[in-house]
Chain A
Amino acid sequence: MLAVEVENVVKEFPGGWRRPPVRVIDDVSFSVEKGQHVAIIGPNGCGKTTLLRTIATIYRPDAGRVRIFGQDVFSWRQSERSRRAFAFISPALNFQAKLTLRQTIEFFATVLQKPPETVIPFLKRTGLYAMWDRRLEGFSEGQKAMLRLAIAFLKQPRVLFLDEVVANLDLSRREKVIGMLEELEAFQDLTLLMVDHDPYVVDRLCDRILVLQEGGRVHRFTSVRKLMDEVPYRFTVEVNLKRDVDDALAAKVAQPLRRYEMTLRYFAADEQAVHRISRRVLKLLGERVQDYVTAPVSLKDVYYLMREED
């Protein structure tokens, strides 16, 4: 069963006085099966967030159609019903700092036509319930991120649109939010469409990826597993430098190598290659190494390699 259908969507924004409009999304089509978790990825400015906001009806497309469970989200007759099926959460959603958590939940519960009690188990699980009568002005960014998700789950949506929900969070808070989502039974059942720059987050939460390219066109729509299988390596050795080394010396350690300023990333086909690279890192780069980490290839590597292809 199709949860989200996007057909030939085009989105343009005014370019300014006597200038042509800027096309941000160009003829995008894809569909998401019920229960799939899909991430929209791509370079900066390729229209990821615009696409998500268009699907969530915040923007009106210049052409094309969007359906949620068969209901046209821009049809006068069906838009209200289709909006009931999804929740859209972005880090831009902030709260009245002077209101307490209880007052905030009560307001959103009224808007969403759900009893506030629906979300209490989630709040208890995240530890927010202990702050039930406290004003939000004292909440940390991590707690606000949890509250955004709480409001999304308060709606009990069938489709969840997340726009960089863990952006600006430090590692431990990000981990807490992701862990929380993974554990939720409700999260497992719903259809997810999310935008996130962080390959780690995408890797943890999604099973399919929609890759947008510059100009707002679909580059690929595939599964995470398939994308990973296409990488011809199994491991990486990431070296963080404390002092700069020239490219020739870095390349002498091993090939292939990808360099991102003070980080060197070597790719290895098997465990023996990992050991060989590690030995040569210590031997050739020695005290210039801050630390090095060996790990299986991740979506992050796919990102790097795709970026090079582009």
Chain B
Amino acid sequence: MHPFHYAKVLKGAVKRNLQVDLNYKFQLVTDVIDMLLIIVAFTVLGAFVDDAADPGELGIDYGLQGFLLMGVLFWALYQRAYDDTVAALPEEASRGTIGFLVTNNVSLSTLLLARNIASMVKTLLTTLFIVLPVLLVVDLAQGGMPGQRGLFAGFGLGDLPLIVGVFLLIWVFMLMVSLLVASLNIVSKRITPFANMVVTALKVLSGYYFPIEALDGYLGTGVSIWLKTHIPIITGLVFLRDMVLVPGPKPGFDVLWATYLEPMLVGIFVTGVVAGLLYKYLERKAQSWGTLEFY
């Protein structure tokens, strides 16, 4: 397909997804309420642990509350898009549109990409206009001051381009993971538990619930370092916490490149190749097995 036409089809599919999503207002509202409940729960949990323990004992350079809330912010950006992308093919199949679209040169990967972009647009709006302001209010209420102390102690506007760049890299990584998991949906039914398992594993490993340094005690020394340098989403979350939570001068670009960016790019490349090959193989198998339209 000509790239210009591909872009038009992708834009049309994204628009259609957004039009449909906007019609399900109850889902939009419950998504936001769910997010606010998570923020409240982690704020209370973090404050409780911070009052009772020294952050140094947890192996981190900042309070647990900040640690947890930064994880919430991070996953708020990616989880909805992941969930929606994995559910996209069964949704299209239930509408009977897959056969029609495939016979019109629209591949399943285009449908997945369109679903992912539409969800990211929705998520970005929710994060920018609801999650971030709520986190700021929570932080200010507890005496935080952006750039000085609290949740955004290390944040400076100069860091924004780098943070946005890392956000985009993690988005590409999560898109690849979504494609990988959704590919299984082409040939197998009811993969939701598997999709949940993958996201739970990524959440645990990325340090959503606890610092991954804690894993060293169970799995051996150096496990956390290996994870930080081989799984892009973990690298990304560690980067975000280091940039936003830790006050003081930042390391130079060469250090950031070697510590965060290069391992992330390698991880994204490897994940992309695996996801692409698996997707193409399973799409071909689905055409052969006759499972392309059925879930």
Contact = CB atoms under 8 A, between A and B. Distances in A.
A86 interface: yes
A111 interface: yes
Main secondary structure of the interface of B (DSSP, over half): helix
A234 interface: no
B289 A58 contact: no
A99 B20 CA distance: 7
Interface of A: 13-14, 50, 53, 56-60, 62, 80, 83-84, 86-90, 92-96, 98-99, 103, 106-107, 110-113, 151, 155
A86 B96 CA distance: 18
A133 to B, nearest CB: 13
A53 B290 CA distance: 9
B68 to A, nearest CB: 36
Contacts of A155: 104
Interface of B: 1, 5, 8-9, 11-13, 15-16, 19-20, 23-24, 94-97, 99-106, 284, 287-290, 292-293
B104 A93 contact: no
12 contacts: A56-B99, A58-B287, A83-B104, A88-B100, A92-B96, A93-B99, A96-B16, A98-B19, A98-B24, A99-B23, A110-B9, A111-B12
Contacts of B96: 90, 92-94
A58 B95 contact: no
Given A98-B20, A113-B5, A88 B287 contact: no
Given A96-B20, A96-B95, A155-B104, A59 B290 contact: yes
B218 to A, nearest CB: 38
Contact of A110 (B8, B100, B290): B8
A228 to B, nearest CB: 33
B257 to A, nearest CB: 39
Contact of B16 (A50, A84, A86, A103): A103
A110 B12 contact: yes
Contact of B102 (A58, A89, A90, A99): A58
B101 A111 contact: yes
Nearest to A137: B23
A94 B105 contact: no
A93 B97 contact: yes
A80 B106 contact: no
